[in-house]
Amino acid sequence: METCFFEKDPTSSLAPRALAEGIGTCLLMLVAASSGLVAHRLLPDSSALALAASACGIAGSLIGLIVAFGSASGGHFNPLISGLQWLAGERKLSCAVAYIVAQLIGAIVGVLLAHAIFGMPEQIANPETPNWAFVVSELIASFGLMMIVFGCARSGRKDAGPFAVGAWLFAAIIATPSTSYANPAITCAALFADGPIRLGSSTAGLYLLAELAGALIAYLAFQTIYPQRDREATS
């Protein structure tokens, strides 16, 4: 059964599929970094409106990217998705590793492109060590995102998947103190960014641990809710 977050032809060459993941993650990071800068510049006195504008840009871009690249690579753009598919036996390790490497490289290139477009923006200070509420919220955001992704995939809601993910991300960006990075590639690339998306090294490290923990908890949950899978690791 063809479903969302799996490529249409998992036996096709790995290089083009990994390239799709790299390009998609690059564009996602470009929008994430740039939308924050634009919102901060246009709405400097209204943090709520700036956050909502940034959330619209990120969620909208992710929906478009999943629709565009989903048939080619699955449209992950997130190491948590690729890694959990491997853990669930739905993807070969070589493919998961290639996807994750492409995602990390793509996210860093996206930051560099954002800087090339806007120049080096004025740094906006972020706390080096976040409040624990931020870390817990990142765990919850990652848990929720993985539940949405694998819930849509395993229930066969192919057409709904991209929009469900975009809707969750929009809500989570606004509703969580951490603004829902929920993506290790974006979190790592944020170390090289300036502007609202920038993270310090200790913050990024804690967020990465929280994202991994949230994803693993989600894995246990969706394996219980949707225990049956007829897809073998052919990719």
Q: Is 34 helix (H, G, I), strand (E, B) or coil?
A: helix
Percent of the chain with pLDDT over 70: 90
Across the chain, the runs of DSSP E, i.e. the strands, are none
For residue 39, the one-letter residue type is: A
Is the dihedral angle over the CA atoms 175, 178, 184, 190 positive or is it negative?
A: positive
61: pLDDT strictly greater than 60: yes
Q: How confident is the model over 53-82, as a mean pLDDT?
A: 96
Write the single-letter amino acid at 71: S
- Is residue 221's pLDDT more than 90? yes
Residue 230 confidence (pLDDT) = 56
Single-letter code of the amino acid located at 218? A
Residue with the two structure tokens 């395993």: 154
pTM for the model: 0.93
Other CB atoms within 10 A of residue 125 CB: 7
**What is the residue-averaged pLDDT of the chain?**
90
Exposure string for 213-228, b = 16+ CB within 10 A, e = fewer: bbbbbbbeebeeeeee
CB atoms within 10 A of CB 101: 16
What the block records as the tokens of 153 is: 């995939």
When pLDDT is averaged across residues 159-175 and rounded to a whole number, the result is: 95
Q: How far is CA 148 from CA 20, 141, 212, 225, in A?
A: 22, 11, 16, 12
The token pair that represents 148 in the structure block = 């949405």
Predicted confidence band of residue 217 (pLDDT cuts 50, 70, 90): very high
Ramachandran quadrant class, 231 (left: phi over 0; alpha: psi -120 to 50; beta: rest): beta
Structural domains of the chain sorted by starting position, each given as residue range(s) with its CATH number in brackets: 14-225 (1.20.1080.10)
